[in-house]
Homo-oligomer: A and B are copies of this chain.
Amino acid sequence: MTLLAFNLLNSGVTLSMVCAVVGLVFAIFLIAAILRASPGNERMRQISGAIQEGAKAYLQRQVITISAIAAVLFVLLFIYKDRSTAIGFVIGAFCSLAAGYIGMRIAVLANTRTTQAASSSCLAALRIAFNGGAVTGLLVVGLALLAVGSFYHIAVRIIGPDAAVRSLVGLALGASLISVFARLGGGIYTKAADVGADLVGKIEKNLEEDDPRNPATIADNVGDNVGDCAGMAADVFETYAVSLIGAILVGALTLATEPAAVVYPFVLGGISVLGAICGIFFVSVARAKPATVLMGAVGTSALVSAILFWPATHQLFPNGIMIGGFRRSANDLYFASLIGLLMTGIVVLITNYFTSMRYRPVQTIARASETGHATNIIAGLAVGQHATALPVGFIGIAILLSFHFAGLYGIAIAVMSMLSMAGIIISLDAFGPITDNAGGIAVMSNLPREVRAVTDELDAVGNTMKAVTKGYAIASAGLAALVLFGSYVEELKVHLMRNGEPFSFQFSLTEPRVIIGLFIGGLLPFIFTAFSMDAVGKAAGAVVREVRRQLQVHPGILTGQDTPEYGTCVDIVTKAALREMIIPALLPVAFVVAVAMIKPLGPVVLGGMLVGTIVTGLFVAIAMTSSGGAWDNAKKFIEEGNFGGKGSFAHAAAVTGDTVGDPYKDTAGPAINPMIKVVNIMAILIIPIFF
């Protein structure tokens, strides 16, 4: 590496780390603002405390379980790979866990304060909830930039640039694998508690959501924090880190002579932290409907990034860059980065259309509820499948265009630019569980109806935002995984050439091994989600049995004379979630190792498998998360008084849809996202071990 290259690397990465620190400082400022708000009366603080305690207890036990698995993998990596990869793995795993923990902690601070603010105005509540989410967003993005940046920085000095790039794959694996666990564990927890609480509470006993007489209600609210907050934060941390690392891999492997190619993804990430801060600032000054304010924040953020990307790109690539024998201009790269920003906007708008109660899809499901449970389910499943068309179409266009501008590196840049929006997008996502909790606290503290009306309105917006960010997460995950597949092929080439073997793989569709790989890979999302849903079913069954037991032993609970034992429910879900997450989380690892180990399969089948997982994973994940979001809001639409309103036959059917949608949108669907990447990263990592 030349001195010039080293300096460029230094200055670019340092710049992005400065931006990350700015983001962290701003996050601390936001935390202070949240803490200044009133946490409400004693009853509210008590409930919030119980939720916080349950969430902490769960996450601590999750950390122990996951650490044990991570320790085994660390040892294996240490033995079969090398020290730096193993260390990278630990750093990635630690940061992924930390991101989840932080997300949860902030959320439980913000929830009761949102409830309190809801008694003054909708906008005030919106801002507290959003700022809570924004803290998570900034911390996750800052953490990712700092972790990847400083690890890479140090590794380059100690083991040289080539080995440094390779050990980043370890960091990516750590982040991805842990986030599969966090997504699944949290997802199983939140939906087992939710489904369990609803099945007995709403359907058998006619209790309202969050009724304090329901023994599973605290567990349900804990679930929002460990699933939607902690799980999601770990997931987006992982997507961000992996996209960054993917771009570095492509930059370093295929463009070895162009050091700026490695720096560019860092710079994009750094700049977008500033964009996110502008978006967050927008929310605290804008005055409009909640959904409009939030969409405005995304727009502001994207606009600022788009403007700042231009000078940065021209500064880094004054003479363009050589890719595949052609010189591409700085503008070509800039256009690739714009595609990522545009994709974010497009995916957000599309998912919003399919899951917001203002549009036809959700209303169709609500109407279908009038004829019963079954037609509600059929309509919801169909909406989810319809929802796959546009995102996949636009992903295709994005691939075509960004490849046109700068080959595989162009795709990597588009992905990184898309992910650079994560700061503001997480703010929207984390907003959902905070408002959900705020509503729960309002009901459990017997606050006036108006307060609940405000939190209900925000909750409906939060549902759509959660669905929207899931669409974003899966679309970006699909693109990131394609970049990783490209890295797999490059790594395989380098590895075989180093061993003196010819690289004759075409990964051609006319080769039966590729087709078989596509089938094996295509299978993975199907059985992964099947196992995940089974897990929710089993864990929810345990909750149902416990709730029924409590109501039978203490009939006074329903009349309000006895207090339910919330703690036992929390305990049961905790154990069940941790037990049930293991098998599905280890499936992708097992698949990759099995295909690599079985001799007649080998690297070609593995390559086909990576693409197969991406293809079906994308469809299954979009369909599941969209169906789930749409079912949820169809129920809310009916509860607003349409098609008979609460308590009607249509409402009962809509509750069924919502319950089916729970594991769809919060457990199985979003967990596909890190799973796709685990498969691809594992494949890169095992090349030198098996081939």
Mark A residues whose CB is within 8 Å of B: 195, 198-199, 203, 368, 371-375, 377-379, 381-383, 385-386, 388-389, 392-393, 395-396, 399-400, 403, 411, 482, 485-486, 489, 506-510, 512-516, 518-520, 522-523, 526-527, 529-531, 533-534, 536-537, 540-541, 544, 600, 607-608, 611-612, 615-616, 618-619, 623, 655-657, 659-660, 663
Contacts and interface: CB of A to CB of B under 8 A. Distances in A.
A374 B510 CA distance: 43
A400 B600 contact: yes
B372 A522 contact: no
A469 to B, nearest CB: 22
B618 A519 contact: yes
Nearest to A374: B659
B374 A608 contact: no
Contact of A374 (B199, B386, B616): B199
Nearest to A540: B375
Given A392-B523, A395-B519, A400 B612 contact: no
12 contacts: A195-B374, A199-B371, A199-B372, A374-B656, A382-B529, A382-B530, A386-B527, A400-B512, A400-B516, A515-B611, A522-B616, A612-B615
Given A482-B515, A516-B400, A619-B616, A382 B523 contact: no
B507 A486 contact: no
B516 A399 contact: yes
Contacts of A514: 509
Nearest to A203: B372
A395 B522 CA distance: 13
B392 A522 contact: yes
Contact of A396 (B379, B389, B516): B516
B403 A512 contact: yes
Contact of A385 (B382, B515, B527, B600): B527
A371 B607 contact: no
B372 A526 contact: no
Q: How many copies does the complex hold?
A: 2
Contacts of A374: 195, 198-199, 655-657, 659-660
A510 B510 contact: no
B537 A379 contact: yes
Contacts of A386: 527, 530
A40 B536 CA distance: 51
A526 B619 contact: yes
A155 B657 CA distance: 56
A396 B507 contact: no
Contacts of A616: 522, 615-616, 619
Contact of A615 (B371, B399, B512, B519): B519
Top 7 A-B residue pairs of the complex, sorted by shortest distance between their CB atoms: A374-B659, A385-B530, A507-B509, A396-B516, A382-B533, A373-B656, A403-B512
B507 A378 contact: no
A93 to B, nearest CB: 29
Contacts of A195: 374-375
Given A392-B522, A515-B399, A382 B534 contact: yes
A371 B200 CA distance: 8
Given A522-B619, A615-B616, A607 B509 contact: yes
B529 A385 contact: yes
Contacts of A531: 382
Contacts of A513: 400
Contact of A375 (B375, B400, B527, B537): B537
A540 B370 CA distance: 13
A659 B656 CA distance: 14
Contact of A377 (B203, B379, B540, B660): B660
B199 A388 contact: no
Contacts of A659: 372, 374-375, 378
A541 B199 contact: no
A660 B529 contact: no
A656 B372 contact: yes
A175 to B, nearest CB: 24
A399 B619 contact: no
A368 to B, nearest CB: 6
A139 B173 CA distance: 57
Nearest to A381: B533
A202 to B, nearest CB: 10
A382 B537 CA distance: 10
Nearest to A478: B519
Given A385-B527, A400-B516, A608 B372 contact: no
Contacts of A411: 512
A486 B512 CA distance: 10
A616 B377 CA distance: 22
Nearest to A375: B537
Most buried by B among A510, A600, A611: A510
Contacts of A540: 371, 375
Given A378-B533, A388-B523, 4 more contacts: A373-B373, A374-B659, A386-B527, A519-B615
Nearest to A663: B378
Contacts of A612: 615
A513 B403 CA distance: 10
A527 B389 contact: yes
